[in-house]
Amino acid sequence: MITLTTSPPETARGDMLVWFAWQTGKKRCGIDCAPVRKLIQPVWRAGDFTGRGEETLLLYPASAGRARIAAARVLAVGCGKVEKDHDRLREQLRTAAGRAATRAREVKARRVVVILPDRTALPAAEVAECVSEGLILGNYHFSGHRTVKKDEDPPVRVKRFVLCRNGLKAPEARRGMVRGEIAAEAACAARDMANEPGNYWTPARFGDFGRRLARATSLTCTVLGKQELKKLGMGGILAVNQGSALPPRLVILEYRTAGKNPTLLLVGKGLTFDSGGVSLKPAAGMEEMKYDMCGGAAVLAAMQGVAGERPEGINVVGLVPATDNMSGAGAVRPGDVITHYNGTTSEVVNTDAEGRLILADALAYGIRRFKPDAVIDLATLTGAVIIGLGHHRTGLMANDDSLADQIIAAGASCGEPLWRLPLGPEYTRQLKSEVADLKNVGGRAGGTITAACYLQEFVGNTPWAHLDIAGTAWNFTDKPYIPKKGPSGTGVRTLLNLIRHWNR
């Protein structure tokens, strides 16, 4: 929980008071709160804390005879030198706030008071938004299914963050705080989904989440089961599901404003566990394939954020095709030919290239039914994107330059960078099959691009972008507000930022 106070920082009671320090090179620490300045100034003057990035300083006012500070602890967090670029400046604030939340959890602080920085070039709302995001994302912990033993300390999370506006206008700071809270909580929801093991987070659970979200908000939810998918002819989803004991789902969430407004379609890969099917994956690391549904999690979580923010002037539809990919007796085999929703036939050369099969059906169906002005899909689609971009950038491919530029700007603004890769007929030719319209893999060369080219065959002329998050959905770049291991929730805040500033 996060709230805003207009009271002076030194009077706010809590387990910790946080101040963000900029590296200025001056002898005097730049803070207007006199009691906090008196506490930190000797350490600053001695050069033991200078505001450099990654620096933290934890002090105890009572032990130093500084009773004028109500909080039990004072934490100073270094931000480094003020960045001139606004995207980098936003990331500085988000990172510092994440570091503060991590330190607060380490000392088991339950109520943390945070002084908002007031000497940046950012508007008050953006300052509060970034700090709120960093605090909530950095406070994240998945307790999972572990039993805490008697001799162990249970994991502790901060129960309440209190922002001190520190000269910033309260209405603007409150607006940014709420926006940051909604986005961060949505990203944490995506992390929760992805952290669940495959025997807990099943295709049916995707449907349950969608229904609960619709009951609690203005969204509408439709969940299509196996029989309905058969009637629609969704051969890609059904083929991937053939070897599974669990039936598939197609989850549809709709946020509607007015028919005259543009419609954005979001599609997320909901592969709840990927064994590779008959083209079995190596055993080492296969447990991480419970994360193969991170694209679907991002879409559902983004719809949660949309329901919270209620943006005007845009309709948003989220689709999640959900199944697992197992090698049961009925599993699809290499060499089999399937027929997608739009009638396109595909030779399944490799059953481990299954994500594109379920996404193809969802894309074709979503475009035909909802007639969107643009469509974006997110998927942990290829290991090849990790070879190309590592765990630092999401791969982006698109048939529309304007849409691609907007997504890149949205990702840069919220600390989720993307890198655009090309598309072209020379790559699509690698998917030529001798027995069907397409084959589902085009060889190792350009694997990330040819996977996107497969999807491109199902979007027609609709402006479309594909985000391959295989390298960023988990084990993402080390940041204080991103878990060192496990899912990052990437994509959620990019989508919300894009929707806020939609301009087409």
d(CA 192, CA 194) in angstroms, rounded, equals 5
User: Is 281 one of the catalytic residues?
Assistant: yes
Cα–Cα nearest to 225, from 236, 238, 216? 238
Active-site entry in 191, 226, 249, 356: 356
Q: Are 417 and 389 in contact, with CB atoms under 8 Å apart?
A: no
Q: Are 243 and 326 in contact (CB under 8 A)?
A: yes
Local structure of 84: helix, strand or coil:
coil
The answer to whether 296 touches 196, Cβ cutoff 8 Å, is no
For 118-248, strand residue ranges (E) read 160-164, 220-224
For β-strands 111-115 and 263-268, DSSP reports them as unpaired
Q: Tokens representing 131?
A: 């700090």
Q: DSSP strand E in 157-226: where?
A: 160-164, 220-224
Q: Tell whether the torsion through CA atoms of 67, 70, 71 and 72 is positive or negative.
A: positive
Residue of 37, 157, 175, 281 marked catalytic: 281
429 is catalytic: no
Query: Helix 86-106 vs helix 124-138: angle between axes, to the nearest 10 degrees?
Result: 40
3-state secondary structure of 305: helix
Q: What are phi and psi of 271, to 5 degrees?
A: -80, 100
Instruction: Check residue 489 and give left, alpha or beta (phi > 0: left; psi -120 to 50: alpha).
Output: left
**Catalytic site positions:** 281, 356
